[in-house]
């Protein structure tokens, strides 16, 4: 499969957690970037929403994307730092059934070499049903850097969650 279309047919949701963006007083640069990069790699972004930094609203929206829209992947941006209103990880932990800690761990390690602020990320990743949910930072630069780290593994995760038969002996490295 071509590098550009690695996510062909993957249904995605993008959730921006930001009081300012949800009120229309801030730019949604990171959310727009995530939607664009997913589309550029062949994914179908079926939901792209901005919600306030509210635990219940974020959790409800994530659950709806997974359960009602049945997306394969949800990427969140914003609300994963240490500020008092940053509650995206808590909302995500409320809705996921299984943790995938290696995804944010790898992104934090890779990006901390460029910016020590990466250590402040509390992002989590996990699975609800057959949907992978990954928290990314709200900073446009940090969101891009995290996507550089996680994008190569996303097609394989979706294959596994969809229980597509894998060819043993086929190279599984992205």
- For residues 61 and 5, what is the distance between their CA atoms, to the nearest angstrom? 27
**In the block, which residue shows the tokens 């630069």?**
141
CB-based contacts of 22, cutoff 8 Å, min separation 6: 16, 50, 51, 52
Report the pLDDT averaged over residues 32-42.
97
Domain residue limits, the chain? 7-160
- Residue 139 token pair: 């900073």
Q: Which residue has the higher pLDDT, 78 or 163?
A: 78
Answer whether 57's CB lies under 8 Å from 16's CB.
Answer: no
- The rounded mean pLDDT for the chain is 93
Q: So what's the pLDDT on residue 164?
A: 76
Fold of 7-160: Molybdenum Cofactor Biosythetic Enzyme; Chain A (3.40.980)
Q: What is the pLDDT of residues 104-115, one digit of tens each?
A: 999 999 999 999
At residue 153 the predicted structure's pLDDT band, cuts being 50, 70 and 90, is very high
């Amino acid at each position: 499969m071509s590098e550009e279309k690695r996510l062909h047919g993957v249904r995605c949701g993008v959730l921006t957690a930001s009081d300012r963006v949800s009120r229309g007083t801030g730019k949604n640069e990171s959310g727009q970037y995530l939607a664009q990069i997913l589309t550029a790699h062949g994914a179908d972004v079926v939901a792209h929403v901005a919600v306030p930094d509210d635990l219940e609203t974020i959790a409800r929206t994530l659950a709806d994307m997974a359960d009602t829209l049945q997306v394969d992947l949800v990427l969140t941006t914003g609300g994963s730092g240490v500020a008092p209103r940053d509650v995206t990880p808590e909302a995500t932990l409320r809705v996921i059934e299984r943790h995938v800690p290696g995804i944010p761990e790898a992104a934090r390690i890779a990006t901390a070499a460029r910016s020590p602020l990466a250590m402040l990320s509390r992002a989590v990743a996990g699975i609800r049903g057959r949907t992978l949910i990954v928290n990314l930072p709200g900073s446009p630069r940090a969101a891009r850097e995290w996507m550089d780290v996680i994008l190569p593994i996303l097609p394989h995760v979706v294959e596994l969650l969809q229980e597509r038969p894998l060819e043993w002996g086929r190279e599984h490295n992205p």
